[in-house]
Structure 1
Amino acid sequence: MRFSKMHGAGNDFVVLDLRDGRAPPSPALCRALADRRRGVGCDQILTIERGDDAAVVARYGIFNADGSRAGQCGNGARCVAAWLRRDAAGAGRPLPDRFEVDSPAGRHLVQFTADGRVRLDMGRPDFAPARIPLAGLDAADEYRLATSAGEVRFGAVSMGNPHAVLRVDRVDDAPVDAVGPALQRDPAFPDSVNVGFVEVVDRARLRLRVYERGVGETLACGSGACAAAVVAMRRGWVDRAVDVALPGGVLHIEWPSDDAGVAMSGPATFVFEGDWIDEPT
């Protein structure tokens, strides 16, 4: 099985081409591929699949390192777009600078910019508790929960997957390993949650760490950067266009107004190609 290893700002992926009709990877295969000592090593596995609509170049699936399915991955979407563009060029069918792909969370417009980055339409954020989903709490800009790690104050939003965003004074000192798992197992998040810890540097810059569901802390999280940015924008902490600095790199997030979609720009990098020959036991 041929694969590509890629990353977007340090958030790394194994990309599998399943357009020939092969079945998606089993949870055991996902765990084997993602293993950083015995496998390829990655945060998520991305599957390239045939689209159901002629308007899209392809669709893609997202699998976490533990084998569970994910609904959204902004860094992964950029890598999928770059993979499709390279594959099309190699086959003599170059793609335009703008095209659409389908994801588990819906359709996305991707655009390749002059500086080599990929701009992605992430869709509208959804703050309704039932859509996140967030159970047992009424809609609010700030929620409070008594968790196993103490009381936690956070904003919550869906970017096609659930996010909790906590403001901290210094992201370097954030209790990521304690609060992240505590929120993920709290009954208030019936589908678990991605937990972001955000530091407001100034009106145009955030620093962020994200504890992802099914993965743990990652070097970058595209949907997490969008979630942190829109929560901060909605609270009036920052302007409507910000750079979000994660441990693995910087993503640029724009949300022109509350009724607009979110745009994310960032890198998509090829690391190496390989063949996987072992079946998981």
Structure 2
Amino acid sequence: MTQTEPATPAARGRTRATPSGLRFVKGHGTRNDFVLIADTRGELDLTPDLVRRLADRRGGVGGDGVIRLVPTASLAQAGESVADDVLAADPTAIWFMDYRNADGSVAEMCGNGVRVFTAFAESLGLVNLAGGASFALGTRAGIKRVRKEADGWYAVDMGPWFLPGGQDAANGGFDAAVHVTGWDAPRPALSVDLGNPHTVVALSSVGELEALDLGRAPEVAPVPPNGTNVELVVPLGEQRLPDGSTVGRVRMRVHERGVGETPSCGTGACAAALAVRTWLAASGEVPDTWIVEVPGGQVRVRLLPGGNVELAGPAELVHAGEISL
């Protein structure tokens, strides 16, 4: 049985396993939702079975994934070499986002999850983002730096990105093929890596996007060794802002590996914008800032100097409670 309460600061206290259950907080970023656990002493054995139970929408709390906030040093002591790498790169990255997909599998990281993780850490008093301060957190895809904007959005430097297919894929526009239920034949797609794998397919219209059947996982060829998230995107053109700058717009749906279709995917939004920008680059100058519309809302993707990409969007903590083990 799950008992819930409003996610007040007191209710969001450090999650711990007790004889009766496990305390949690539920949060989401553009309706990509997560079960959050504050394992501040690094004591919880987050098994695949426990993850599946927590993420179960009928028998558990329900979520697209489970995020454990844990000291980076604890993971280093447990033998996770990536935690050693994080601390070597930045000793201030003392908190680590241990992210698991809803099926219990370990994932490199999650863009929406980083924002929700930061909101969670902020609510626990572990992070202070006042005055434009930034926060470094560890992930299996390296260090992610987060700042809070005046409108309350969290902006995350997602780090470097690349096209696994290299310049040949950029020139040709594809390096993979994707088949979705109901299509007569596979369609060309572009692979994009943001620390986790993505495969992006362009569609011709919003109507086609809305009619897709994503109840089954799209088939991708060649088969990615570690699976992939698949983004189906429709370019919506460019928009001139009052300050004279130009932003691109994209609408997207996504099927996440180990989860299924979700209302949003942060790294997927980045992949979608980067793929569309790559496809359009041959036609002339293209924007560095993109608004990506997803079923759960919208986020902003921006190319940063030096080859990194930034993701910005909302994060909300909705309730806290305790689930019987």
TM-score range normalised by the length of the shorter chain: 0.7 to 0.9
Q: 1:7 pairs with 28, 33, 39, which one? A: 28
* Aligned-partner SS, 2:109: coil
Q: CA deviation at 1:145?
A: 3.1
Alignment correspondent of 1:62: 99
Where in structure 2 are there 5+ consecutive unaligned residues? 1-21, 74-86, 239-247
- Relative to the length of structure 2, the TM-score reads 0.76
Identity of aligned residues (%): 34
User: Is 2:32 the partner of 1:40?
Assistant: no
Q: CA RMSD for the aligned pairs?
A: 2.2
Is contact 1:46-1:61 (8 Å) kept? Answer: yes
Closer/same/farther in 2, CA of residues 103 and 171 from structure 1, 3 Å limit: farther
User: Is 2:284 the partner of 1:235?
Assistant: no
Alignment correspondent of 1:154: 189
Query: Which AA in structure 1 matches 2:27?
Result: M
Closer/same/farther in 2, CA of residues 205 and 187 from structure 1, 3 Å limit: closer
Q: CA deviation at 1:72?
A: 1.9
1:81 and 1:243 map into 2 onto residues whose CA distance is: 22
Residues 1-281 of structure 1: pairs in structure 2 closer than 5 A? 1-52=22-73, 53=87, 54-88=91-125, 94-96=128-130, 97-129=133-165, 139-140=169-170, 141-145=173-177, 150-174=185-209, 175-177=212-214, 180-183=217-220, 186-203=221-238, 204-236=248-280, 239-256=287-304, 259-278=306-325
Is contact 1:31-1:67 (8 Å) kept? Answer: yes
* Aligned-partner SS, 1:110: strand
Query: Which AA in structure 1 matches 2:267?
Result: S
1:118 and 1:190 map into 2 onto residues whose CA distance is: 32
Closer/same/farther in 2, CA of residues 95 and 265 from structure 1, 3 Å limit: closer
Is contact 2:253-2:264 (8 Å) kept? Answer: yes
Alignment correspondent of 2:244: none
Query: What is the number of residues matched between the two proteins?
Result: 265
1:4 and 1:83 map into 2 onto residues whose CA distance is: 8
Is contact 1:66-1:214 (8 Å) kept? Answer: yes
Is contact 2:178-2:218 (8 Å) kept? Answer: no
Where in structure 1 are there 5+ consecutive unaligned residues? 131-137
Is contact 2:66-2:102 (8 Å) kept? Answer: yes
Q: CA deviation at 1:188?
A: 2.7
Q: CA deviation at 1:126?
A: 1.6
Q: CA deviation at 1:171?
A: 4.1
